[in-house]
Chain A
Amino acid sequence: MSEPLLPPRIRQLFRLPADTAARVANDVDEELAFHLEMRAKELEAAGLSPIEAAAEARRQFGDTADVERHALDVFAPVQRRARTRDIALGWLHDLRIATRQFRRAPLFSAIAVMTLALGIGANTAMFSVIHHLLLAPLPYVDGGRMTELRMATGMLNMQPDGATFGAWRARARSFDDITFANGSQHVLDDGAEESRVSAAEIAANYFSFLGVHPAIGRAFTADDGRVGAAPVAIIGYSLWRQRYAGSKDAVGQRIRVDSVTRTIVGVASPRLGVPFDDGSDPVVWMPATESAADTYFTIGKLRNGVSTAVAAAELASISATVDHSAYKGPKMTEARVLRPQDLLGDKYQRALLLLFGAVSAVLMIACANVAHLLLARAWGRQREFAIRGALGAGRARLARLMLCESVVLAVAGGIVGLLVAKGALALIVAYRPIQYEGLDHVRLEPAVLGWTLGISLLSAILFGFGPALFAGGRRASDLLKSGTRVSGLSGGARRARGGMIVVEVALSVALLVVAGLLVRSYDALLHVPLGFDPQNLSALRVSVPASVPAPARSALLADMLAGVRRIPGINDATFGGVPLETGMLMGDIEPEGGRPANVSPIRLTGLYAVQAGYFKLVGIPLRGSTFGGDTTGRTPGPTSELVISESLARRLWPNGDAVGSRMRLNPRSDWMTVVGVAADLSYPGRTGEPYDFQVYEPALTRFTTTEIVFRQRVPLEALVPAIRKTVGAVYPGATIVGDVRTADGDLREILAAPRFAMTLLGVFALIALSLSAIGLYGVISYAVGQRTHEIGVRVALGARPRDVRRLVARESGTLVGIGLLVGLCAAVAASRATQSYLFGVAPFDVVTYTAVSVLLGAVALLACYAPVRRALRVDPIVALAAD
């Protein structure tokens, strides 16, 4: 029994091709021929002539062609399976060889994996942020179709009033359903102690809109939201577990929220949250009335296939037919249908993409570096490739082997990269600006893992391509034939390495320039003259219940102001806020006698309601006088007087003095006298309407909330309890809205976002620079190593150290020079794109460009220092004897 049909495993061992159709056909032919021959012999023995016997054997057999067709059919899937298995086993085999290679070179592997991990990790972290903020749908059934609806005009947009909401909900056909909800802070009283908790007020259809049922009990009905209905509440899942131990008896119990006793009718499902809110999970849910819709998020679920533009147009056409007479706000003729990413704003989105571009550049540099490493290694392994080639491995197979090594590296880099990304995300969350709460919910989600795997494999192709070509190239396999050692990389490979260095340097330069511009503009922000003195300046907002009639309210607020003034540690206090927080005045401001012909209408200005003593306390220089009226707040200032800012005064009265002139805030308002002109305020990083001009009007204490600003001489924390006590002593029902804020805190908050972007980009740029320096070092070292023989000859022939230095410097200088030039050009393009983030610095800031060039030159010199030293130490005798 010779020539066995090879079982798959044996075939695999010798790397023989799997069975082909031709082979199956041959086998069947031979098998049947044997059968027919044997049968004919038997018939012959029985007395038939050879010809008759052959014919009879055929007749008895039946259709031989049919048997062959049938065999081809039944063996086809077997062959396919065998081929697939061969391929899989082949890759597995190569992957095993590749892994073994790296275990033998731990230092090389560690450097390559860490480099990749840095690039992949940074990229994964940024992608997680982008995925969470821009790509992922809201975490609800049909979350991808949920939009926030607003009415709008020009750059203003706000929640729809009750009438508009009702009309939208009843008539809009672009939406499956519309609901509203609002997360807010409320005081929960559990009998023993009061605590502020996040709560939500929701429409009756909120639960059905989200496609969920309460965990137990019932959802709200339309009746629950009616005025005068028995107060009810649904409690959050976590509160149910904590306070009621998850018992069904919780339904029907009482709960006190904001001094109102409510009956619990249900328990919400866990982690329900409010779409478009900050992501916190309300502890208590309360029914809301539709008439108060304008204080809520209006959320619509777009009908399948309807675009936001079409939906917005429909909403606008519906609003046009609504009777707005009950609505006191500005007239809104448009509507907005906003997806979560739209709410982030263009600037924020572009900042994310800019950062993503930065991490992608870092990843590319990392890939280039690993490619350098692999190429250098491939050069050192020529003998191995030659032997493998001699043993029968084709060029394609050698290339595949190298590609396998790249894949192993990339996957290892990806895995470590995930750890890097996890750490980076933790850092991002820890140092995020206070207003970017959304970042807290960024996780390494499954989609992100897919991304990481994808970019790892893409990297493998990027950095494995060159080495694979080299290994599969003719040079390596010719090596054994010629019996010599190939003395260096081919011209093509050397040019490729040079090209990679140029790209690395260029990307680093572009990143450094952008980071540098952000640093410069942050510095400019820090030095903005604010126009007031923020030192030890703080403000609080007090609220008196609407049940207190207006005249009594004024008296109460005046008492509170007097009380705050008496607190030890507070120098002075008055009505008004920290000037960094501006109110907004809408309308067409007009001086008496008409607007000068060449002045465009002023639509939006900052508006401050302040008391007579405000300017002195806050430290805003004032020309003319402040309002009349006393400083105690007992009698409000005259409503016919205004103070305006210097630039507004110049704009309205280009030729004369504003003080004493009259103006009106809109065509319907009364004429007011400008009694004083205050120095301009500026807001770090904010320009344009409403920040260019300021209007101050006397504070009116008839509203339910008023701001008190004060200057303290002791730390704020020491004062807050006394302030709370004072406010409570004047009127027990009065509350302080939010926190007591300091001007310094506000400033920090304003500066947090640019500082965050600057830091991130700066870190990425530094990583890019270090990786490029390492890459440059590797390439120059390698070049020097290649030319040891040549340098030896030169030194033997009398070359001086200066000549050797020049020799090395020429190579690196050319690469760095070209890289720098390309990088500066790229930086020009990149800084144009970043223009809107720059403040007080031109996109083509000479200082930044020069500094980056010098820095890069210095780093390049440093990277070349060691190779040059090595070149200088070349001993001609040793170098020449090496061959």
Chain B
Amino acid sequence: MRSANDMLHGTLDVLILRALAWSPMHGYALANWIGERASGELEIADAALYKALHRLEASGAIDAHWGLSENNRRAKYYSLSPRGRKVLTAELETWRRFARAVAAVLEPADTRGRS
């Protein structure tokens, strides 16, 4: 059984992987990307985001390289590695099954039908 913390880690990891699957980006852009899409519903501390990035980099799920940012500054860019892509696919599947299951319990089909 995963602990609550693991659950959070896992969720953040999937979010990062999903973002990077869209495009390689640096940490700041990533924070904004997630912030925009969660429309303020998901409060993620920047520190936690960077910890997750470093953890994923060490595990080989994402690659990192230094590049130039939009305003010509040195920035560390992250991109999805082949291994990360596999992890993302698996995690998304798990997440969808989980979400379906939770939804099925919380919103049975008849009530959903009425709304």
A3 to B67 CA separation, bound complex (whole angstroms): 7
Interface 0/1 of B68-109, CB less than 8 Å to A: 110001111100000000000000000000000000000000
Name which residue of chain A comes closest to B24, CB basis.
Answer: A1
A63 beta carbon closer than 8 Å to chain B: yes
Binding site for A on B (CB under 8 A): 26-28, 31, 45-48, 50-51, 54-55, 57-58, 63-69, 73-77
B67 touching A34, Cβ below 8 Å: no
A541 to B98 CA separation, bound complex (whole angstroms): 93
Of the listed stretches A72-80, A260-268, A836-844, name the one at the interface; the rest are far from the partner chain.
A72-80
Which residues A45-76 have CB closer than 8 A to chain B? Answer: 60-64, 66-67, 70-71, 74-75
Which residues A566-614 have CB closer than 8 A to chain B? Answer: none
Of the listed stretches A25-33, A379-387, A429-437, A615-623, name the one at the interface; the rest are far from the partner chain.
A25-33
B47 touching A34, Cβ below 8 Å: no
A4 touching B28, Cβ below 8 Å: no
Contact of B74 (CB < 8 Å), options: A30, A62, A67, A75? A30
B58 touching A32, Cβ below 8 Å: no
Contact of A32 (CB < 8 Å), options: B50, B63, B66, B73? B50
A271 beta carbon closer than 8 Å to chain B: no
A4 touching B66, Cβ below 8 Å: yes
- In the assembled complex, 28 residue pairs joining A and B whose CB atoms fall closer than 8 Å, in A order, are A1-B66, A1-B68, A2-B68, A4-B67, A5-B66, A27-B76, A28-B50, A28-B54, A31-B26, A34-B27, A34-B69, A34-B75, A35-B31, A35-B46, A39-B28, A60-B45, A60-B46, A63-B47, A64-B47, A66-B47, A70-B51, A70-B55, A74-B55, A74-B57, A74-B58, A75-B54, A75-B57, A77-B58
A458 beta carbon closer than 8 Å to chain B: no
A878 beta carbon closer than 8 Å to chain B: no
CB distance from A234 to the nearest CB of B (A): 58
Interface 0/1 of A1-20, CB less than 8 Å to B: 11111010000000000000
A62 to B57 CA separation, bound complex (whole angstroms): 21
CB distance from A5 to the nearest CB of B (A): 5
CB distance from A68 to the nearest CB of B (A): 9
Name which residue of chain A comes closest to B26, CB basis.
Answer: A34
Which residues A374-409 have CB closer than 8 A to chain B? Answer: none
Q: Which residues of A contact B58 (CB under 8 A)?
A: 74-75, 77-78
The interface centre, meaning the residue of A2, A27, A63, A67 with most chain B CB atoms within 10 A of its CB, is: A67
CB distance from A56 to the nearest CB of B (A): 12
Name which residue of chain B comes closest to A74, CB basis.
Answer: B58
A877 beta carbon closer than 8 Å to chain B: no
CB distance from B98 to the nearest CB of A (A): 26
Contact of A35 (CB < 8 Å), options: B28, B45, B48, B68? B28
Which residues A213-269 have CB closer than 8 A to chain B? Answer: none
The interface centre, meaning the residue of A38, A39, A75 with most chain B CB atoms within 10 A of its CB, is: A38
A67 to B66 CA separation, bound complex (whole angstroms): 19
A64 to B51 CA separation, bound complex (whole angstroms): 10
A5 touching B45, Cβ below 8 Å: no
B75 touching A31, Cβ below 8 Å: yes
Q: Which residues of B contact A70 (CB under 8 A)?
A: 51, 54-55
A27 to B74 CA separation, bound complex (whole angstroms): 11
B46 touching A31, Cβ below 8 Å: no
Q: Which residues of B contact A66 (CB under 8 A)?
A: 47, 51
A27 to B67 CA separation, bound complex (whole angstroms): 12
CB distance from B10 to the nearest CB of A (A): 16
CB distance from B13 to the nearest CB of A (A): 13
CB distance from A646 to the nearest CB of B (A): 93
Q: Which residues of B contact A28 (CB under 8 A)?
A: 50, 54
Name which residue of chain A comes closest to B76, CB basis.
Answer: A31
Q: Which residues of B contact A38 (CB under 8 A)?
A: 28, 69
A31 to B73 CA separation, bound complex (whole angstroms): 11
Q: Which residues of B contact A35 (CB under 8 A)?
A: 27-28, 31, 46, 50
Q: Which residues of A contact B76 (CB under 8 A)?
A: 5, 27, 30-31, 34
A318 to B69 CA separation, bound complex (whole angstroms): 93
B45 touching A4, Cβ below 8 Å: no
Name which residue of chain B comes closest to A27, CB basis.
Answer: B76
Interface 0/1 of A76-90, CB less than 8 Å to B: 011000000000000
Q: Which residues of B contact A60 (CB under 8 A)?
A: 45-46
Top 6 nearest A-B pairs (CB, nearest first) are A62-B47, A1-B67, A74-B58, A61-B46, A4-B65, A71-B54
A63 to B46 CA separation, bound complex (whole angstroms): 9
Name which residue of chain A comes closest to B48, CB basis.
Answer: A62
CB distance from A507 to the nearest CB of B (A): 56
A759 to B5 CA separation, bound complex (whole angstroms): 77
CB distance from B72 to the nearest CB of A (A): 11
Name which residue of chain B comes closest to A71, CB basis.
Answer: B54
Q: Which residues of B contact A61 (CB under 8 A)?
A: 45-47
CB distance from B54 to the nearest CB of A (A): 4
Q: Which residues of B contact A71 (CB under 8 A)?
A: 50-51, 54
A38 to B63 CA separation, bound complex (whole angstroms): 22
A28 to B64 CA separation, bound complex (whole angstroms): 12
A30 to B46 CA separation, bound complex (whole angstroms): 15
A62 and B55 in contact, given A4-B66, A34-B74 (Cβ under 8 angstroms): no
A64 to B49 CA separation, bound complex (whole angstroms): 12
Q: Which residues of B contact A67 (CB under 8 A)?
A: 47, 50-51, 54
A62 and B28 in contact, given A5-B64, A30-B74, A30-B76 (Cβ under 8 angstroms): no
CB distance from B20 to the nearest CB of A (A): 15
Taking A70-B51, A78-B58 as known contacts, 15 extra A-B pairs with beta carbons closer than 8 A to each other, sorted by chain A number, are: A1-B77, A28-B54, A31-B27, A32-B50, A35-B27, A35-B28, A38-B28, A61-B45, A61-B46, A62-B46, A67-B47, A67-B54, A74-B55, A74-B57, A75-B58
